[in-house]
Structure 1
């Protein structure tokens, strides 16, 4: 018998023996995920922490401490990792953040932001103009696909709805809907929380007013006309409103995200009394997004900041501030949200009419508002 036939016969005998014995060849061992160290931190994560600590600083922009509980997030991050945070212009709008990246492309100094938190509609611009770099946080899979860029260039962080924040000590009758704001009793009392030519929050206010006045997610013109009327009757105050202007009665009625209004109510603690109203019509929801600058002076600190914000710990900090974190559904499913936090949130039925515009709709609305504000409304908000 030839060597070839002997070899084939040997193989056949081996296979038959395995079948008779009910055995199959052993599978290759599965690749194991990195084991956490005694501290509970994986080797990859520890490497990122070490690299971030070597950089020593994180530079943020447009993060007021009372916005979505960012004060606690900033304090917690510094305490947890021992990094310093350089906070640029807390009251800047989303457009200002984008411009800050552009203005500091070749500058690694203290005015160059590492990270930004901007309106949802800015996402495509950030990618198209190559202003941000990709990074997928370790909790990436628990962020809904329609709330993130597939390649990791940006991802949703939290959302809320546009509400009225009212100083009840200065306003006799609290307005309940957009149409109420045109009444003579609100003369010189109504303001926006940003410049609609640059601020996503202010733009979404115009968008919401459009929905309440015959417009749609594809037609914001009625929103501009509404603010034109508001300005013509003398009710609109062309200043960027904030907690201090509300408290002093300079802008006793302002439109802003519900979580910011709730934060002001808590911070002021009845001095003055603040009422937060979800309007009866024109209830619009807005998602904000996080991204890392393509020119970040501290890229590892920026990545560590993202890991912190998108961990359960960071998401709960936002929720405590009245925001709905982007991983909210995942955390509810895993039952990791303390009851004392949910007890302080507005009733869910108040949000039943909320609508979520798409990025394309937001971008179209943003262009219409920024192009049309001066022409239609003619109020220089600053």
Structure 2
């Protein structure tokens, strides 16, 4: 998923002093140790996801290491199982690193499957998106956005209440079933967070109330919104992760024109996290991979793939984001309000939304 303009050696030495890096005592030593290992084994990294193809190529070119890529289409659960299945294996089927959904980080830590490591840019990663002990850390995220077909929708909604407008009858769709799909659950949560004025404890309940009103008014379309249904006009407004919406905008090439809007309130971020296997056959290569991903270069690699780097606010504040990349995104200030729900908040909202959708909203979302 990504060089850092800062001098890494001092930071890395500081990590050594804190015990975070056991196998290398400077950045130069880390690079040397990784090269001695010779390779890195990854898993579940499709090249078209968040620009991973270019990120992997950049890492290989920078450090001269081979990257052994296992099962690019695996899911987070498969990655965890791969660590478990290869605890005593130092061969090519044992992953060194994983990239998983947020909830998988704490559970993998609890099972003893991860080892701690704090990258040199650690302090610029939001606290809510990382384990305090360094066992897992968010790397990129999307925020829930409105993907709008502007051939059909002339008054483009700017915030959640705007979706209730009379001219959006039979227009608004979720990108999944909120009884089971995380993206859809998070969209309902985001609408509820807006209605509850930021009170996470009420977001699930308020989100259901909002969608009940949206459905009663006739604006909600109970099908899974996709690029095709957006283009055809069946779902001219789709609520989905911004990086999916932005990729659709490119794919559709103006036919129809697509506007991607980050809502004014209820800006909810969905995080994917990185971690190093406790049984990594190439632990130094794994740490070097993490240094690369969290460097400026690595973080901008995500941005090129429309995934929001976890260090976005820090990069923007320091003028590190190229103008051409920013031009392809909604305004930077739109992301400054992004909320990173805690695991507890996510779990509570999921429980309410998935189990009460039928009784409160009563719309059966079709695939």
Q: Distance in 2 between matches of 1:375 and 1:111?
A: 45
- Which residue number corresponds to residue 85 of structure 2? 106
Instruction: Name the counterpart of 2:208.
Output: 224
Of 340, 351, 359, 1:367 maps to: 351
Provide the rounded CA distance (Å) in 1 between the counterparts of 2:119 and 2:309. Answer: 15
- 1:143 is displaced (CA, Å) by 3.3
Is the 8 Å Cα contact of residues 326 and 332 (structure 2) preserved in structure 1?
no
182 and 327 in structure 1: CA distance in 2 versus 1, 3 angstrom threshold: closer
The answer to whether the aligner puts 1:51 opposite 2:33 as a matched pair is no
**Residue 18 of structure 1: aligned partner:** none
**Shift in CA distance, 200/99, structure 1 to aligned 2, threshold 3 Å:** farther
Q: 2: distance between equivalents of 1:183 and 1:224?
A: 18
Distance in 2, Cα, partners of 1:336 & 1:176 = 28
Separation in structure 1 between the aligned mates of residue 272 and residue 110 of structure 2, nearest angstrom: 18
Cα deviation, residue 209, structure 1:
1.1
**5+ residue gaps in structure 2?**
1-11, 14-25
Separation in 1, partners of 2:360, 2:81: 29
1:113–1:300: structure 2 CA closer, same or farther, 3 Å change rule? closer
Separation of aligned partners in 2, 1:43 and 1:313: 20
SS in 2 for 1:83: strand
> Which residue in 2 is equivalent to 1:273?
257
How far is 1:304 from its partner?
Answer: 4.4
Which secondary structure does the structure 2 equivalent of 1:218 belong to?
helix
| Residues 1:261 and 2:240 aligned together | no
Give the conservation status (yes or no) of the 8 Å contact 1:230–1:236: no
Given the alignment of the two structures, is residue 139 of structure 1 paired with residue 121 of structure 2, yes or no? yes
TM-score by length of 1: 0.69
* Change over 3 Å in CA distance of 1:268–1:124 after alignment to 2: same
Residue 178 of structure 1 is matched in structure 2 by 160
Alignment of 1:1-382 (within 5 A): 42-51=28-37, 53=39, 57-60=41-44, 65=48, 67=50, 69-77=51-59, 80=62, 81-89=65-73, 97-98=76-77, 101-102=80-81, 105-106=84-85, 114-119=97-102, 123-182=105-164, 186=168, 189-197=171-179, 199-214=181-196, 216-219=199-202, 220-231=204-215, 233=218, 235-239=220-224, 241-293=225-277, 302-328=286-312, 330-331=314-315, 336-351=320-335, 354-373=338-357, 376-377=360-361, 379=364, 382=367
Give, in whole Å, the separation in 2 of the partners of 1:325 and 1:169.
31
Q: Distance in 2 between matches of 1:287 and 1:181?
A: 25
Contact 2:221-2:235 within 8 A present in 1 as well: no
3-state SS in 1 of match to 2:54: helix
Which digits, 9 at most, give the CA deviation of each residue in 1:92-134, with x for residues without a partner?
Answer: xxxx524652487326897989512324x55433433445443
Quick one: structure 1 residues 301 and 86, their matched pair in 2 at CA, closer, same or farther if it must change by over 3 Å? farther
Deviation per residue, 1:26-50 (Å, 9 max, x gap): xxxxxx96xxxxxx97232232244
| Offset, 1:273 | 0.8
| In structure 1, distance between residues paired with 2:125 and 2:246 | 25
Structure 1 window deviating more from structure 2 (106-115 vs 250-259): it is 106-115
The count of residues paired between Structure 1 and Structure 2 equals: 335
Unpaired segments of 5 or more residues in structure 1?
1-31, 34-39, 91-95
TM-score w.r.t. the length of structure 2 is 0.71
Q: CA RMSD in A?
A: 4.1
Indicate how the Cα distance of structure 1 residues 361 and 174 shifts in structure 2: closer, same or farther if over 3 A, else same.
same
User: Cα distance 1:334–1:151, how it changes in 2: closer, same or farther (>3 A)?
Assistant: same
| SS of equivalent residue, structure 1 residue 164 | strand
DSSP-derived class of the 2:183 partner = helix
- Whole-angstrom distance in 1 between the partners of 2:249 and 2:326: 17
C-alpha displacement at 1:189, in angstroms? 4.0
Secondary structure in 2 aligned to 1:135?
Answer: coil
- Tell me how far apart the structure 1 counterparts of residues 281 and 157 of structure 2 sit (CA, whole Å): 46
**C-alpha separation between the residues in 2 aligned to 1:59 and 1:349?**
34
